């Protein structure tokens, strides 16, 4: 998510964290070193389709689909009307209420019922935006200086709109996919993900899922393509609460036990601990793809690490770099602390939050056990904070997916490097992967880092990104629904 990427590897599941986090490690380094691929001649997109896609995006922004506003069902009805107008049978579209939000499912029938369906996922809800904080009304789409402004313009209404427009176009053209192509949009991805879990359960027999809410392309500030990130895995998000309680007492009569000191000592031990180094197909592919763009000690360390996963010096170099440490191992850090109740009293209680990003394949309980061992103090109680996050293995880098995405990206940007990534936070893909459906973040959005405002103020997307995204989805869907 440095830019298009960064925004999409957003962290969620905790109300503490509404920021996105850069998970495509080293992206910044790459953007300096990679240089640009040739822009090439881009596939032509019909003007009428461009206009329709822009209109869908603008209308989409006008639905205030924030948590609790109850606007997701109305937005889903709008998307349904767009598809029905293009020739979808109303009976092939289901909008199911989930609390005050909804799921949206639209089936494009394939010709071969023996083939498992291709899922295309995204989310209809957006992060809250307050009118008084924004220069423009966040829920009135504004076209200005070549951008569409509005909450959700990037996350995730851009890809939801581009995918919807692409499918209306394919319908009008009489396209006949072999597999069923199922649009499955969630309605509370940014918060509880209850609708996501429902969809992931409903479609656990799908062949694979393409997610428009992750991956995507980075443009340099000069507008040249830098890299395309394909998200195929996510670390598991987990929070743990560490609590120490003492009888307390008057601060003029200190005893040997002190809840704050005890907790601080445990946190210090955890802070110094490093979880074992792990690697998977995704991180290996990531380091391999990054290597040609790196230089100096980092390049040397990556090269040595790839040659020998136990090279202690290389691991130490990469572990010291916040851009890389997350791709090497589970990480756990202290993020919040509170304790004591008066300036002149011994603390009766001290509590800390430890936030972990767990390497795929490691159970959350195992991390909790390790934290207990490292804290090495039975009076420090460790409990998991319920966040709704579930562990999920990384998806395999399937040849058909890699080939389809490479072809689509190269049609727009010949020769651009495509880097698989494991992000640090959770998207809807987490629940699909947990149910055994390989899921790939393959957004069609290319943006500059400086245009990236997902979850933030004055979120926007360049109008110039629309045609590329339409061509991208058209190509990827045609190749993978075969
Ligand atoms: Zn999103």
Q: How far is the CA of 42 from the centre of ligand 1 (A)?
A: 27
Residues in a beta bridge with 219: 225, 448
Q: How far is the CA of 447 from the centre of ligand 1 (A)?
A: 15
Q: What is the pTM of this model?
A: 0.85
Q: How far is the CA of 427 from the centre of ligand 1 (A)?
A: 7
> What is the percent of the chain where pLDDT is above 90?
82
Of 390, 399, 464, whose CA–CA distance to 429 is shortest? 390
Q: How far is the CA of 61 from the centre of ligand 1 (A)?
A: 14
Cα dist. 102→75, 203, 219 in Å? 9, 16, 34
Q: What is the average pLDDT score of the chain?
A: 89
Residue 5 has pLDDT above 90, yes or no: no
Q: How far is the CA of 123 from the centre of ligand 1 (A)?
A: 7
Q: Note the pLDDT tens digit of each residue in 308-339.
A: 999 999 999 999 998 899 999 999 999 999 99
Q: How far is the CA of 185 from the centre of ligand 1 (A)?
A: 11
Residues lying with their CB under 5 A of ligand 1, a single-atom ion = 155-156, 213
Q: How far is the CA of 189 from the centre of ligand 1 (A)?
A: 7
Residue 302 has pLDDT above 60, yes or no: yes
Task: Say which residue the tokens 């979850």 belong to.
Answer: 455
Q: How far is the CA of 188 from the centre of ligand 1 (A)?
A: 10
In this predicted structure, what is the pLDDT of residue 43? 67
Q: How far is the CA of 429 from the centre of ligand 1 (A)?
A: 11
In this predicted structure, what is the pLDDT of residue 339? 96
Q: How far is the CA of 379 from the centre of ligand 1 (A)?
A: 40
Of 367, 376, 364, 378, whose CA–CA distance to 268 is shortest? 376
Bridge-based pairing of strands 331-339 and 93-98 is unpaired
In this predicted structure, what is the pLDDT of residue 41? 53
CA torsion through residues 250, 256, 259, 260, sign: positive
Q: Pull the structure tokens for residue 139.
A: 């829920």
**Mapping DSSP to helix (H, G, I), strand (E, B) and coil, where does residue 18 land?**
coil
In this predicted structure, what is the pLDDT of residue 26? 27
In this predicted structure, what is the pLDDT of residue 246? 93
Q: How far is the CA of 152 from the centre of ligand 1 (A)?
A: 8
Q: How far is the CA of 348 from the centre of ligand 1 (A)?
A: 41
Three-class HEC string of 103-114: EEEEEECCCCCC
Q: Which domains does the chain have, with CATH numbers?
A: 14-234+391-480 (3.40.630.10), 236-385 (3.30.70.360)
Q: Supply φ then ψ for residue 210, to 5 degrees.
A: -105, 125
Q: How far is the CA of 443 from the centre of ligand 1 (A)?
A: 11
Mean pLDDT computed over 146-170: 97
Residue 22 has pLDDT above 50, yes or no: no
> What is the percent of the chain where pLDDT is above 70?
91
Q: Note the pLDDT tens digit of each residue in 45-63.
A: 899 999 999 999 999 999 9
Mean pLDDT computed over 202-213: 98
**Mapping DSSP to helix (H, G, I), strand (E, B) and coil, where does residue 78 land?**
helix
In this predicted structure, what is the pLDDT of residue 9? 33
Q: How far is the CA of 423 from the centre of ligand 1 (A)?
A: 13
350's CB contacts (< 8 A; 6+ apart) are 243, 244, 259, 260, 262, 263, 264, 337, 338, 339, 340
Q: How far is the CA of 190 from the centre of ligand 1 (A)?
A: 7
In this predicted structure, what is the pLDDT of residue 452? 79
The DSSP string of 255-290 is -S--HHHHHHHHHHHHHH--PPB---HHHHHHHHHH
Task: Say which residue the tokens 């205030």 belong to.
Answer: 64
User: Peptide bond before 156: cis, by omega within 30 degrees of 0?
Assistant: yes
Q: How far is the CA of 476 from the centre of ligand 1 (A)?
A: 20
In this predicted structure, what is the pLDDT of residue 44? 77
Q: How far is the CA of 432 from the centre of ligand 1 (A)?
A: 15
Q: How far is the CA of 212 from the centre of ligand 1 (A)?
A: 8
Residue 194 host element (H or E)? helix 194-202
């Amino acid at each position: 998510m440095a830019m298009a990427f960064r925004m999409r590897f957003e962290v969620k599941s905790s109300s503490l964290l509404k920021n996105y986090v850069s998970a495509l490690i080293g992206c910044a380094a790459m953007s300096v070193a990679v240089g640009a691929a040739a822009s090439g001649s881009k596939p032509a997109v019909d003007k009428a389709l461009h206009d329709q896609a822009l209109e869908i995006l603008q209308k989409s922004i006008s639905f205030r689909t924030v948590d609790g506003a109850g606007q997701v069902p109305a937005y889903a009805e709008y998307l349904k009307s767009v598809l029905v107008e293009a020739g979808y049978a109303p009976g092939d579209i289901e909008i199911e209420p989930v609390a005050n939000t909804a799921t949206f499912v639209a089936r494009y029938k394939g010709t071969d019922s023996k083939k498992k369906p291709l899922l295309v996922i995204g989310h209809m809800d957006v992060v809250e935006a307050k009118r008084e904080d924004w220069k423009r009304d966040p829920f009135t789409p504004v076209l200005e200086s070549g951008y569409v402004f509005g909450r959700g313009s990037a996350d995730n209404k851009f890809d939801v709109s581009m995918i919807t427009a692409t499918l209306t176009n394919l319908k009008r053209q009489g396209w006949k996919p072999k597999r069923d192509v199922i649009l499955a949009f969630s309605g509370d991805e940014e918060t509880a993900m209850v609708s996501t879990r429902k969809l992931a359960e409903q479609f656990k027999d799908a062949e694979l899922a393409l997610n428009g809410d992750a991956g995507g392309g980075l443009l340099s500030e000069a507008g040249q393509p830098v890299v395309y990130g394909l998200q195929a895995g996510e670390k598991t998000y987990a929070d743990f609460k560490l609590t120490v309680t003492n009888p307390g007492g008057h601060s003029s009569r200190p005893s040997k036990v002190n809840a704050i000191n005890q907790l601080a000592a445990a946190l210090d031990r955890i802070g110094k601990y490093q979880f074992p180094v792990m690697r998977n197909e995704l991180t290996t592919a990531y380091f391999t793809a990054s290597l040609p763009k790196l230089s100096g000690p980092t390049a040397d360390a990556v090269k040595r690490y790839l040659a020998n996963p136990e090279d202690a010096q290389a691991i130490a170099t990469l572990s010291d770099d916040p851009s890389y440490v997350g791709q090497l191992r589970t990480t756990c850090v202290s993020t919040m602390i509170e304790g004591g109740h008066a300036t002149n009293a011994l603390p009766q209680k001290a509590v800390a939050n430890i936030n972990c990003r767990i390497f795929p394949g490691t159970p959350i309980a195992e991390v909790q056990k390790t934290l207990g061992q490292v804290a090495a103090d039975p009076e420090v109680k460790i409990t998991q904070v319920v966040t709704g996050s579930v562990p999920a293995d990384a998806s395999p880098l399937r040849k058909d997916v890699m080939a389809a995405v490479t072809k689509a990206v190269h049609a727009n940007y010949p020769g651009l490097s495509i880097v698989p990534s494991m992000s640090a936070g959770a998207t809807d893909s987490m629940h699909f992967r947990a149910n055994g459906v390989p899921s790939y973040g393959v957004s069609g959005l290319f943006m500059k880092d400086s245009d990236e405002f997902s979850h933030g103020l004055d979120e926007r997307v360049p109008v110039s990104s629309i045609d590329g995204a339409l061509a991208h989805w058209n190509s990827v869907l045609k190749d993978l629904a075969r």
